Amino acid sequence: MTTLPTAKEPKRKRGIARVAKLLDAGAAVFAEQGYKAATMTEIAARAGAPIGSLYQFFPSKDLLADALVARYAEHLATELEAIRLAAPQLQAEGLSQRLLEMFLAHASERSLVLSLLDARWEQPGVRPGVLRASLRQQIAAILGAWRPSLGDEERQAMAAVVLEAMKAMAQFHQEGAFPGKSLTLAHWRRWVVTYLADMAG
């Protein structure tokens, strides 16, 4: 059985900073050129690092892309946990706003991650469904903290709806100007707030 290479986990502060710089360079090159056209040589050059240093931490372009997807998931997980802790004190409008702000804050990172997932959709470990399922579970936990009386099945269903609503709102924000854009966003926000308030009773 063939053992696949894995990314090296940095132990020291200097190594952690170096990996962060390599990831930032990878993100920039992938965003500019796309996953397939990007090369490890160019990514190392963008980071100002020897190619051997890049391969030391990321033996392949796939592993570098995986690490960027994982970093995005970690960023969202940290912020979703903060929202979960604050949820009991929030009204429907406040909860909706916190979730939307989170998605907007990571809009560029989300676009990159989606492009990486799309470019490598055939690889089981990086399918979009894995990330989507994780986000649904975290939002369901937020809804449970917000309104403990909600049953598990209802929380799961609401989480799926809320996630899709937040993704759509973030997409609207990223689009260029179009007729009625600001009114569209206002209507969408109002719908999400009304939905949360109605479902929570």
* Predicted confidence (pLDDT) at residue 15 exceeds the cutoff of 80: no
Identify which has the larger pLDDT, 47 or 11.
47
Q: State pLDDT tens for residues 135-188.
A: 999 999 999 999 999 999 999 999 999 999 988 888 888 888 889 999 998 998
* pLDDT classification of 1: cutoffs 50, 70, 90: very low
Residue position matching structure tokens 């040589």: 41
* Predicted confidence (pLDDT) at residue 4 exceeds the cutoff of 50: no
Q: Which residues contact 10 (CB under 8 A, 6 or more apart)?
A: 16, 18, 19, 57
Sign of CA dihedral 127, 132, 137, 142: positive
Q: State pLDDT tens for residues 70-129.
A: 999 999 999 999 999 999 999 999 999 999 999 889 988 998 998 998 887 655 555 667
**Residues 6-33, mean pLDDT to the nearest whole number:** 82
Residue position matching structure tokens 């997980």: 77
Q: Which tokens sit at 56? A: 């030391």
Q: Which residues contact 47 (CB under 8 A, 6 or more apart)?
A: 21, 22, 24, 25, 26, 54
Helix (H) or strand (E) holding 150: none
Candidates 2.60.40, 1.10.3470, 1.10.357, 1.10.287; CATH matching 68-200 = 1.10.357
Main-chain phi, psi angles of 122, to 5 degrees: -75, -10
Q: Which residues contact 7 (CB under 8 A, 6 or more apart)?
A: 57, 58, 59, 63, 64, 66, 67
Query: What does the domain layout of the chain look like in residue ranges?
Result: 1-59, 68-200
> 139 and 84 in contact (C-beta within 8 Å)?
no
CB atoms within 10 A of CB 74: 10
Residue 48 backbone class (left: φ over 0; alpha: ψ -120 to 50; beta: rest): left
Candidates 1.10.10.60, 3.40.50.1220, 3.40.50.1000, 1.20.1260.10; CATH matching 1-59 = 1.10.10.60
- What pLDDT was estimated at residue 13? 64
Q: Angle, to 10 degrees, between the axis of helix 92-105 and the axis of helix 181-200?
A: 130
